[in-house]
Structure 1
Amino acid sequence: MSDTHTIGWIGLGKMGLPIASRLAAAGHDIAGFDRDQRRIAEAVEGGVKPAATLADAARRDIVFTSLPDDKVLAAVALSGGLFDAMREGAVLVETSTVSPTISAQVAQAAARRGVAYLRAPVSGNAAIAHTGNLTCFVSGPRAAFDAVLPIAQDFTRAQKYLGEAEEARFAKLAVNLMIAVSAAMMGESIVLARKGNLAWQDILDVLTNSAVGSPMVHYKAKSLETRDFSPTFSCRQMAKDLDLIIGAGQAAEMALPLASLTRETYGALIGRGEGEADFISTVRLAEWLAGLGEPDLDTDEGRLA
């Protein structure tokens, strides 16, 4: 490996932990920090050096953050001492899904410190983070992107540079809007087919082998074969992202009727106790609204009685 930069990683959660471990396995000198000591211990098992404090991780050449939401990013970057610890000329790579508004505030704080700030939200989920098959959208200083690219290539399969400001934030929200609306449509489509007495597997085969058979449809149809709703990305997380999307639309003075309607779908799922279930639980909500129970997959392939 030709890269000699030291890396700090802040946030060893569902995404941060497997990515940091993958970078350690690739030979990078990486130190990780999380408020949860158990996560640091898991990272150490994966070859990541432990950082005793946030400041210890932040003093490295290139610092990555992987955080759950705007509130935590603000606490770390704007009031948590991140930039106090980072040295002038270092690079901050922020990989979370957050609003353009908070990201712009982080950009201002980085500029005051002389830190190059890259917005680099990743697309994919925790189930594939360890495989290197994530993608990332990046905006910020082009020179910083070029410096970080060899590292990004060790945990993503594709990297797209989009501009100097918040372009990457809007790209990630645009992608997640498509995913959310597609999941809502998939739920209603499957239940409509069930009402027409199609077998459970038959409708999944129809969707995957038709013009709508996108990679997401193929991926989710596989787990739906056995009605596996264990979360790769939860309903609650999707609702949070839809709130970001709607907020970005309001700031841009545009209407997002599909986003707003889909947010109501996920609100209903959370209200029914499905907040931690996978976002494709839209199928179960559609079944409930249609008065259907779960199909019996062991008899007649799930046809209605």
Structure 2
Amino acid sequence: MDRTIGWIGTGVMGASMCMHLMKAGHEAFVYNRTKSKAEALLNEGAVWCESPAQVARNADVIFTIVGYPSDVEQTILGTDGVLQHADASKIIVDMTTSEPALAERIFQEAARKGVEALDAPVSGGDVGAREAKLAIMVGGERETFDKVKDLLDVMGTNVQYRGKAGSGQHTKMCNQILIAGTMIGVVESLFYAYKSGMDLNEVIDVIGTGAASSVCINVLGRRIANGDFDPGFFIKHFVKDMGIALAEAKRMQFALPGLALAHQFYVSAMALGYEDLGTQGLYKVFEKMNGE
């Protein structure tokens, strides 16, 4: 079935993800708060929309990937948002990393209008988005997932249905908790290598193939070694994600002390003005802590 795609949020990851769907032959209606960030898509034939509402009126499946839960709420549930202007039988797929409770609320409010909704956050960063190798974790009705899985497969290599609404977001929290602790290890490891007078890339050549191997060391570690702190994923968004996970843990009445420590380091990065760097920018915090 030839479905028209709506895409809201054409940032570091969203633009690449939408482009893959367009290359697969889907007409796309796009909106972003900063129109210039959608320029590459418009040059490839995407249709510009002036609001999320206009996207909703024109598209069969509406994807959103924005910054914060407040952005998700405004984009989908606001008066000029997607849900207010989506007809029954349309599907909303929110790919933002957001709050599980908000995903459940969107699902419930959409169902009252006959609209289907999924929460489908992703992992893989800018590289995964560009190469269509994202992990996509999905919550909502299984029947809705089955209807859009072919579209999700265009953007990712590991697309998994995780259960009821909110389950995609809970799975993403597991992902972010793991990355948060791993990134502490990455920056401490590479700072140790630097202080020992070793070449960081050569160290990664060794430790990146053994038990310490991870995307964090092999991708983000390489960026640190090469002095590249541009965002594949913003520090400010990672702080948001960690805050969601800590709040969910508190709600469920258990502690995540390792995540709390990592969160403090990243909040320090924000305080130092590094919020728009990639998550590997945490390395700069350790440099400052050690007088570099």
Look up the SS of the partner of 1:161 in the other structure. strand
Contact 2:176–2:241 (8 Å) recurs in 1: yes
Report the Cα offset of residue 23 of structure 1: 0.9
Report the structure number with the largest CA radius of gyration: 1
Task: Give the number of equivalent residue pairs.
Answer: 290
Partner of 2:174: 174
Which shifted more, 257-266 or 273-282? 273-282
- Aligned-residue CA RMSD (Å): 1.9
Partner of 2:73: 74
Contact 2:120–2:168 (8 Å) recurs in 1: yes
Q: Quick one: distance in 1 between partners of 2:124 and 2:176?
A: 10
Report the Cα offset of residue 196 of structure 1: 4.4
Partner of 2:259: 259
Which shifted more, 9-18 or 141-150? 9-18
TM-score (norm 2): 0.92
Partner of 2:102: 102
Q: Quick one: distance in 2 between partners of 1:277 and 1:37?
A: 22
Residue 45 of structure 2 is aligned with which of 38, 44, 47?
A: 47
Q: Against the structure 1 CA distance between its residues 69 and 210, is the aligned structure 2 distance closer, same or farther, given a 3 Å change threshold? A: same
Contact 1:191–1:290 (8 Å) recurs in 2: no
Contact 2:77–2:84 (8 Å) recurs in 1: no
Q: Quick one: distance in 2 between partners of 1:100 and 1:274?
A: 27
Q: Quick one: distance in 2 between partners of 1:54 and 1:274?
A: 30
Residue 8 of structure 2 is aligned with which of 7, 10, 33?
A: 10
Report the Cα offset of residue 210 of structure 1: 2.7
TM-score (norm 1): 0.88
Which shifted more, 246-255 or 188-197? 188-197
Unmatched tracts of structure 2, length 5 or more: none
Partner of 2:26: 28
Report the Cα offset of residue 52 of structure 1: 4.0
Look up the SS of the partner of 1:136 in the other structure. strand
Q: Quick one: distance in 1 between partners of 2:190 and 2:4?
A: 49
Q: Quick one: distance in 2 between partners of 1:230 and 1:34?
A: 21
Q: Quick one: distance in 1 between partners of 2:202 and 2:49?
A: 52
Report the Cα offset of residue 221 of structure 1: 2.9
Which shifted more, 51-60 or 66-75? 51-60
Alignment of 1:1-305 (within 5 A): 3-59=1-57, 60-80=59-79, 81-291=81-291, 293=292
Identity in percent: 26
